[in-house]
Chains A and B, each alone.
Chain A
Amino acid sequence: MLYLLAFLVVVMLIAGIAVIVVKDILSAVILTTVISLVVSVIFLFIASPDVAITEAAIGAALTTVVFVIAIKRTRSKETTDKE
C-alpha cells in the first residue's frame, strides 16, 4: 500500500517536472492531466472517493478540454497575425 502510494507520488513528480521542462505547450497540458489522474487515484486510496471522482471529472477531463481549446484558439490567432 505504502509502496504503491510512493510509486504514484514518484509518477506525479516526474510528470510535474516534465511539465516545466517540456517545450511543446500541448504536451504540458497533457502532462497536467496525468498529474490530475494520479492525484485522483491517490485520493481513492486514502479513502476519499468523493474528492477522487470530482478530481477525475474536473481536473482530468474538463480542464484539459478548456486548455486545449484555448491553445487552439490562440495559436490560430498568432499565425494569422504573423501573416
Chain B
Amino acid sequence: MKILLIEDDSETAAHIVYALDGAGHDVTVCHDGLQGLETARAGGHAALIVDRMLPGLDGLSLVRRLRDEANNIPALFLTTMSGLDDRVEGLQAGGDDYLVKPFAFPELLARVHAITRRGNAPSAEPVRLCAADLEIDLIRRSVHRAGKTIDLQAQEFRLLEYLMRNMGRVVTRAMLLENVWDLHFDPRTNIVETHLSRLRGKVDRGFGSELIHTVRGSGYILRAE
C-alpha cells in the first residue's frame, strides 16, 4: 500500500517509515505542509499520515483543504499534544483517526489498516455482518452461530460488531476502548481482556473453530477461516 507521511521531525519520520516499511508498505515522506498538500493532491496514495504541527501549513488545515476539494483519502492525524479536544478537532477537520505520539508500532499499523478499510467501505450501511458460520443482524441486534442463537449484552454486541466490521484486521486495545466504550484513557484494570474473554465464551466456546484471536503485543483479530 502506498502511504503519504507528512511529518517535519526527521527522527519520528524515519521511525514511522521503518515501521510501515517492515509491514510491506511503500512510504513517501514530506517534511513541509505545503509540499505535503501538493503531493496529496497529485494522488496515488492509499492513505495519509499527517502531523498536526507542520511548517508551511498545519495538519488540520491541510486535511480540511483536501476535504474541501472532495479528496477523501483516508487520513490519520499524529500529535504530541495530549489535548482532550484535539481528537474531536481532528475528526471535525475531516481526519479518520487520531494517534497521540509517542505510540507503539502495532498501534500505528492497526489504525492505518482500519482507516484504509473505511475508505473502501460500501456507501450503504450493511444490515448483516457474517464471518464463517457467525452472523449478526445489525437491525434486530441478534447473533447466530451455526444455526444457534447467542444472547449478548449490549456491550458484548458492540464489541463483536466492531471486531466484525474490522474482520481480518488487527484491532488494538486502545481502538476497542475508544470505539466500543468511548474511553479515551488507559484504564488500570483489564476491561478489554475481561469483556473479550466473556464474548469469546459465548461466541467461540463450544463451536468447532475459534474466530477471535489474540495477536501478541498488538491486539485482537476476528478471522473467518
Q: Does B bind A? A: no
A residues apposed to B, CB below 8 Å: none
